[in-house]
Amino acid sequence: MNTLEHYLDEQLSRGRSHFSKKEALKALNVTAEAFTAAATRLIKKHRLISPWRGFYLILRPEDRFTGAPDPVRWIDPLMRYLKLDYRVSLLRAATFHGSSHQAAMVFQLVTPKQLRDFDIGRHRIQFIYQTPVTFEKINRPKWLQQIKSETGFAKVASVELMLLDCARYFHKAGGINGLAQIVHDIGNKANPQMLAKAAALYENSAVRRLGYLLDLFGQERQSKALAPFARKAKSMKTLDPSAKPLIEGMADLAEKNNKWMLIINESVEIDL
């Protein structure tokens, strides 16, 4: 009778490094209890790891340093297993598009369902929730690209969506300075027309935040595309809503940028 260990070798020989419990039970014709016992043994031997209940990754010798394969190799199968659409965005997408300052060990996805973050090996998988209605409008194939690996691909936000996601969820992208670094590094790669079209689906304050930073770093074609959104603003917003003034009453003295209808309540610092 075929064993789970033989099943793993067979999957790897086919270039496949993941499987579901349901698939294995069907292939091996064993009870759920027997499968769980065998899987537990192989997890202890560092041949298997499970990022989600019922979904398994097969570890190769080269994966043992990081404790798990690069998520780009298995995140698409995992999301298909969960029957959820997604896009890789924020820090990992910024790295993909050429921002060398970002933390590669954080793998962030935007999804239309709230999911728990988790660590697997040295990787941190972080989910950013976007309302289903908005997600469906934004997650268009023409606004997505692919990160390719030797075992498959993962859907990644275009540079335009990545910039807007980072501006909207800047607290997940290293704060204002993290966002500023990304804009400085790769903001000029954004297509102005596509950026404006996608921006119409984001909160106006986030678009203005991005526009201000594009302006700050002299990326005029991109900032010009977002300027009409600032003209629609009805009130000033703070550049960094999370920043609190050190001295009470100092907020009223902060610089105001009338072009972008922003209160510049936080200085911007980047690495050059």
pLDDT digits (tens, 9 = 90+) for 56-102: 999 998 887 888 998 999 999 999 999 999 999 999 999 999 987 66
Could you tell me which residue, 253 or 190, shows the higher pLDDT? 190
Q: Report the chain's terminal Cα–Cα distance, integer Å.
A: 61
Indicate if the pLDDT at residue 194 is higher than 70: yes
Could you tell me which residue, 39 or 105, shows the higher pLDDT? 39
181 contact partners, CB below 8 Å, separation of at least 6: 99, 101, 102, 174, 270, 271
**Would the CA dihedral through 227, 230, 236, 238 be positive or negative?**
negative
What's the whole-number average pLDDT of the chain?
91
Domains in the chain, please, with CATH?
4-67 (1.10.10.10), 73-229 (no CATH)
Indicate if the pLDDT at residue 111 is higher than 60: yes
| Reported confidence tier of residue 221, pLDDT bands at 50, 70, 90 | very high
Q: Which of 25-34, 51-60, 149-158, 228-237 has the lowest mean pLDDT?
A: 149-158
| Reported confidence tier of residue 26, pLDDT bands at 50, 70, 90 | very high
Helix or strand (DSSP H, E) at 145:
strand 144-149
For position 102, what pLDDT does the model report?
A: 61
Q: Which two tokens stand for residue 58?
A: 């097969």
| Reported confidence tier of residue 247, pLDDT bands at 50, 70, 90 | very low
10 Å CB burial of residue 189 (0-12, 13-18, 19+) is middle
Residues making up the chain, counted from first to last: 272
Kindly list the distances between the CA atom of residue 151 and the CA atoms of 76, 157, 189, in Å, as whole numbers in the listed order.
11, 20, 28
> Which stretches of 139-250 are DSSP H helices?
159-168, 175-186, 192-199, 204-216, 220-231
Other C-beta atoms within 10 Å of 240: how many?
21
For position 9, what pLDDT does the model report?
A: 92
CA distance 223 to 120: 38
